[in-house]
Structure 1
Amino acid sequence: MNTLLSDSASTPASGGSNGQTLRIRGGRPLRGRVEVKGAKNLATKAMVAALLGETASILRDVPDISDVHVVRSLLEVHGVRVEDLEDGVLRLDPSGAVSAHMEEIDAHAGASRIPILFCGPLLHLLGQAFIPDLGGCRIGDRPIDFHLDALRSFGAIVDKLPSGIRLSAPDGLHGANIELPYPSVGATEQVLLTAVRAKGTTELRNAAIEPEIMDLIAVLQKMGAIISYEPNRVIFIEGVASLRGYDHRAIFDRNEAASWAAAALATDGDIFVGGAKQQEMLTFLNVFRKVGGDFDIAEDGIRFRRGGPLKPVMVETDVHPGFMTDWQQPLIVALTQAEGESVVHETVYENRLGFTRALVQMGADIVVHPDGIASSDRRVPRRALEQAAVINGPTPLHGADVVVPDLRGGYSYVIAALAAEGESTVRNIGIIRRGYEKFLEKLTDVGADFDVTE
């Protein structure tokens, strides 16, 4: 029997009560249907984009997650009126936007890294912006140098203070020629949100081209922006004098969809993910099938289940259209039950395989190579920060007491606990609500056996 205390985030700054604990009784297949709403990685950025409009915007399919609550609070601190029109639909009116005090921004930002994306819109709107010390998941350095260098290219003046970074643009912002050292999603978003109102044309090379980036471009085009892109990761943005509000339905959250798919694989379950679409998940679906999973594509979602014994695979994470780094953590849990040796090369974040220590504690046979592994069949170029995990299976998992380290790692611990025999304790689950809407309700929908305690 499940006991749900609360499945919503509490304070915006904290992203919910991280101290909540799940007690999970595993060893049973997950079966049922879950619905996914708009992507965390689009909804939060589209909310920031509303600052650029001279009229109100409407964003649909907004997930009820703590990262959205943080952005909402930051917008409200800056005088943006945010209204709930109905479940998952927000109206954002920037007509009253004002400058905010550093203390207010810092208090509402909490552990989120979203504030850095406010810089371009606020520089256009108010002529200044402030970034507090940035938090986020501890999966790598995630330097903000790409962002700051891009903003300097537009003409912003960057001053580092003990409490954060203050930016100003006394002469306004102008178009720039920018080439990113790495196709960073965040830096690409920064350039887009800044360039659309900058004077002149911006050329961005080595840009990220994730579906969420394309959806953000669609949002900005609805607002009046002129943006074109070429197949070689080059994006051109012609600055315009003004933008209007938008009406947009966010792209579905493919990270959450892949997470539930991995849960079906790990527990030998059968889960229908409503709202999931094939096109944005092609790379994941190919790997899912290679591992031994099966799926059915429907108009309203995708059904995931095992198609037979699980098989070992070699996976390399990469920027889109490669295999997403957010997908490897839940997949590794399933690979502990595959018959043979699997290898996962993590090439995006340097610390993202640290979560496997808890899986070893639960009985998994996983060895992490901190400097990666060279191999003749590698397709993704080797990177200085990469790591690799070698997973030997199948190994039975057993209950353990674990602490959530980050968003995707935390979800992976829950999957492992659900697949394991016996009872597990998963602490610090508030982090999971940063990116998974109604997480506890959905666990109930697929038949998980758990209790929640403070």
Structure 2
Amino acid sequence: MDTIEIKGGVRLEGEVPISGAKNAALPILASALLVEGACGFSRVPKLKDIDSILLLLEDLGCTVTRDGDRVQVDARGLNRTEAAYDLVRKMRASILVLGPLVARLGKARVSLPGGCAIGARPVDLHLKGLEAMGARIRLEHGYVEAEAERLKGADICFDVPTVGGTENLMMAAALADGETILRNAAREPEIVALADVLNAMGASVEGAGTSKIVIQGASSLKPVDVEIIPDRIEAGTFLVAGALTGGDVKACGCNPDHLRAVIDKLRATGASVETGPDWIRVRGNSPVKSVDITTQPYPGFPTDMQAQFMVLLSMAEGTSVISENIFENRFIHVSELQRMGAAISLHAGNTAKVRGVKELSGAPVMASDLRASASLILAGLVATNTTVVHRVYHLDRGYEAMEEKFSRLGARIRRIR
């Protein structure tokens, strides 16, 4: 199993290109199931999770071709309605084929998904929404079975904002009969990107990016050719690395509007941040100032940046408090950071107190999930001596060529295969 070795203490400097967003690409690729034709997608990142969704689409009968960052999905051959356990267990986003399959073929049998160990992310909100649209839902032997002659528009209010649930029901509603209203919907940029694709296909989606989304279903949808939006979490991770190492890092090909909460917190730690139309530049300053962080649904501070900021705050003056309000079990990386000398204590299940220390020391550490992997890489960049990160297959699920990009910025980092 691959590991990544980092020799820390190098100031990062330079420009880094930001890849397409995994969390936008996954639902957009799934949306190709809605179309009886070939859809083209560019700026698709080379990631394990992308490989997983493409394998699933192929297994369902689609023809998938890939050339670099360009992917074509032709769903004219779609002939299966079952997403098998072996293909779904590796990635939670596989549940996103449920809505499109029911909408286009009238039924679906999808294994309950797997994924990384950051807490329960139940799919009950997806299922309640499909039931409201007329689908008959059964849970049997670890599978969700859904059937409907044709889905019908409905007025659906989510108990809590759910990104996957909003995406699944948007896709289902795009081929439903009549108008669907999603209330208390997720507002993430990835939701807006999916809405843009569905509109290009011929559906009518209004209000994406707000808590109320209105979808007018179409009888059929047409093929599209679209580009995936930039990955805001990848951009944020490299910006934190620049601030952490006292460096000067420019993330190119990203959208500053998607990272306002992250930029605000970077500035609060004392970093200098400049933005342009499609770039963000951070320059780290010493000492790092302590700040408090509370993760919230977009446009609040993203849970996917919590672990990376914890590393930055572990080197700050004073004590910071991080409150995790999205997922339970998302402090698994704390014990590994403590092994490197971080002074972090956990309180009341979802709160971490981070007391800044003068230095971290390299150590062998083990990644537990995708963003925890990134935090351990960042800790290794600033630590004395050598850090070896194990189980980096988590990293490969969501960061494209991370060690190569860090090397470009001057980091002493290598993958050991």
TM-score bracket for this pair, using the shorter chain length: over 0.9
3-state SS in 1 of match to 2:388:
strand
Question: Unpaired runs of 5+ in structure 2?
Answer: none
Note the C-alpha offset of 1:150.
1.2
Given that 2:40 and 2:224 are in contact with CA atoms closer than 8 Å, whether structure 1 keeps it comes out as yes
Task: Read off the aligned partner of 1:76 and give its amino acid letter.
Answer: E
Task: Read off the aligned partner of 1:222 and give its amino acid letter.
Answer: A
Given that 1:363 and 1:395 are in contact with CA atoms closer than 8 Å, whether structure 2 keeps it comes out as no
1:149 maps to which residue? 128
Determine if the alignment matches structure 1 residue 64 to structure 2 residue 46: yes
Determine if the alignment matches structure 1 residue 30 to structure 2 residue 12: yes
Note the C-alpha offset of 1:453.
2.8
2:375 maps to which residue? 412
Which of residues 231, 235, 243 is equivalent to 1:253? Answer: 231
Which of residues 335, 341, 351 is equivalent to 1:388? Answer: 351
Task: Read off the aligned partner of 2:262 and give its amino acid letter.
Answer: F
2:201 maps to which residue? 223
Structure 2 length-normalised TM: 0.96
Q: CA RMSD in A?
A: 1.6
3-state SS in 2 of match to 1:414:
helix
Given that 1:330 and 1:415 are in contact with CA atoms closer than 8 Å, whether structure 2 keeps it comes out as yes
How many angstroms apart in 1 are the aligned matches of 2:277 and 2:106? 46
Output aligned runs, 1:34-183, within 5 Å. 34-84=16-66, 86-99=67-80, 105-169=84-148, 171-183=149-161
Note the C-alpha offset of 1:426.
0.7
3-state SS in 1 of match to 2:25:
helix
Determine if the alignment matches structure 1 residue 427 to structure 2 residue 406: no
Bigger Cα displacement from structure 2, 154-163 vs 425-434: 154-163
Task: Read off the aligned partner of 1:352 and give its amino acid letter.
Answer: R
Note the C-alpha offset of 1:93.
1.1
Aligned residues: 417
1:6 maps to which residue? none
Task: Read off the aligned partner of 1:96 and give its amino acid letter.
Answer: G
Given that 1:20 and 1:429 are in contact with CA atoms closer than 8 Å, whether structure 2 keeps it comes out as yes
How many angstroms apart in 1 are the aligned matches of 2:409 and 2:216? 48
Given that 2:243 and 2:285 are in contact with CA atoms closer than 8 Å, whether structure 1 keeps it comes out as no
How many angstroms apart in 2 are the aligned matches of 1:300 and 1:160? 45
Show CA shifts across 1:152-171 (max 9, x none).
111222222224222222x2
Output aligned runs, 1:256-335, within 5 Å. 256-335=234-313
Given that 1:364 and 1:395 are in contact with CA atoms closer than 8 Å, whether structure 2 keeps it comes out as no
1:203 maps to which residue? 181
3-state SS in 2 of match to 1:204:
strand
Sequence identity, in percent? Answer: 36
How many angstroms apart in 2 are the aligned matches of 1:230 and 1:82? 28
Structure 1 length-normalised TM: 0.88
Note the C-alpha offset of 1:299.
4.3
Show CA shifts across 1:41-82 (max 9, x none).
111111011111232211111111111111111111111112
Given that 2:158 and 2:183 are in contact with CA atoms closer than 8 Å, whether structure 1 keeps it comes out as yes
Which of residues 344, 364, 370 is equivalent to 1:401? Answer: 364
1:436 maps to which residue? 399
Note the C-alpha offset of 1:100.
5.3
Task: Read off the aligned partner of 1:437 and give its amino acid letter.
Answer: E
How many angstroms apart in 2 are the aligned matches of 1:228 and 1:396? 50
Bigger Cα displacement from structure 2, 307-316 vs 67-76: 307-316
**C-alpha distance 267-307 of structure 1, shift in aligned 2 (>3 A):** closer
How many angstroms apart in 2 are the aligned matches of 1:100 and 1:237? 24
Task: Read off the aligned partner of 1:447 and give its amino acid letter.
Answer: G
Question: Unpaired runs of 5+ in structure 1?
Answer: 1-18, 372-386
Task: Read off the aligned partner of 1:449 and give its amino acid letter.
Answer: R
Bigger Cα displacement from structure 2, 314-323 vs 437-446: 437-446
3-state SS in 1 of match to 2:305:
helix
Show CA shifts across 1:237-260 (max 9, x none).
111111111121111100000011
How many angstroms apart in 2 are the aligned matches of 1:446 and 1:137? 29
Note the C-alpha offset of 1:353.
1.6
3-state SS in 2 of match to 1:251:
coil
Given that 2:12 and 2:247 are in contact with CA atoms closer than 8 Å, whether structure 1 keeps it comes out as yes
Given that 1:335 and 1:342 are in contact with CA atoms closer than 8 Å, whether structure 2 keeps it comes out as yes
Given that 2:21 and 2:232 are in contact with CA atoms closer than 8 Å, whether structure 1 keeps it comes out as yes
How many angstroms apart in 1 are the aligned matches of 2:168 and 2:74? 21
Given that 1:404 and 1:431 are in contact with CA atoms closer than 8 Å, whether structure 2 keeps it comes out as yes
Note the C-alpha offset of 1:290.
0.7
Show CA shifts across 1:158-213 (max 9, x none).
222224222222x2211111110111111111110111111111111100111110
Bigger Cα displacement from structure 2, 401-410 vs 143-152: 143-152
How many angstroms apart in 2 are the aligned matches of 1:127 and 1:196? 14
Given that 1:365 and 1:395 are in contact with CA atoms closer than 8 Å, whether structure 2 keeps it comes out as no
**C-alpha distance 279-56 of structure 1, shift in aligned 2 (>3 A):** same
Given that 1:77 and 1:100 are in contact with CA atoms closer than 8 Å, whether structure 2 keeps it comes out as no
Note the C-alpha offset of 1:447.
2.1
1:376 maps to which residue? none
Note the C-alpha offset of 1:101.
5.3
Bigger Cα displacement from structure 2, 188-197 vs 306-315: 306-315
Note the C-alpha offset of 1:388.
1.2
Task: Read off the aligned partner of 1:92 and give its amino acid letter.
Answer: V
Show CA shifts across 1:376-431 (max 9, x none).
xxxxxxxxxxx111111133100111111000011101110111101112100011
